[in-house]
Structures are given as C-alpha cells and as structure tokens.
Amino acid sequence: GHLDPQRMERLVQDLVSLWEEGREVILVSSGSIAAGVGRLGLLPSKPRTIPEKQAAAAVGQGILMQHYETYFIPQGVIIAQVLLTRDDIITNRERYLNARHTLQSLLGFRAV
C-alpha cells in the first residue's frame, strides 16, 4: 500500500511528451487508497471494509494529486482533477453532458 514515485515520474514524462506533441491527454489514475493507507497508519494490513477503503481514498486523494503536481508543474503542465461516478457517465444524460463539457473545457485549456 504505497505510491511508487519513480513509476509515477516515468508515466508523467511519457504523458508530457504526448502533450508537447499537441495531443490531448487524459490520465485516469488509481492509487488514492494506497496513498491513504500509510497516512492512516493502516500498514502493514490493508483496509478491508468499504468504509475503511473510502476513508483511505479520501485521505489519499490529495496526496496522489500532490505527487502528480510535483512531476507535472515543472514541465509547465496544468493538472486538473475530475471525480466521476457511474451515474456521471452512463446512467444520467444530464450529468454525462456536464462531465463531457467540463472535460472538453479542461482540454481546451491544455490541462491534463
């Protein structure tokens, strides 16, 4: 249950290369639970219940984004975070359109 900074840095380097070519980049990432586990003192065990996993994810989400910022910002790339649920993209048309427009706007700003 931890983040691998070297792996994250390599991923960011690859994504920045694509971004510099003018491509639109969207990163879908997991890792918030892993980031939160250590902070909550749950190591060496892993969270087992849904509330424990959600708590670890809630704590870890900011940590995960901070790590990504550490690697993207020096490259001149703005990052954004959009949290989506199944309802946002599959079952609710209005929420889907809102999410789609938000993502299109972020891509227009050249944010990852």
pLDDT tier at 1 (50, 70, 90 boundaries)? low
CA distance 48 to 107: 37
pLDDT tens profile 17-57: 999 999 999 999 988 998 998 888 877 778 889 999 999 99
pLDDT tens profile 48-68: 899 999 999 999 999 999 999
pLDDT tens profile 74-106: 999 999 999 988 888 889 999 999 999 999 999
Q: Classify residue 7 as exposed, middle or buried by CB count within 10 Å of its CB (0-12, 13-18, 19+).
A: exposed
Q: Tokens 């001149």 sit at which residue?
A: 76
Average pLDDT, rounded, for the chain = 91
Give the predicted TM-score (pTM) of the model. 0.83
CATH number of 5-108: 3.40.1160.10
Residue 7 in tokens: 């792996």
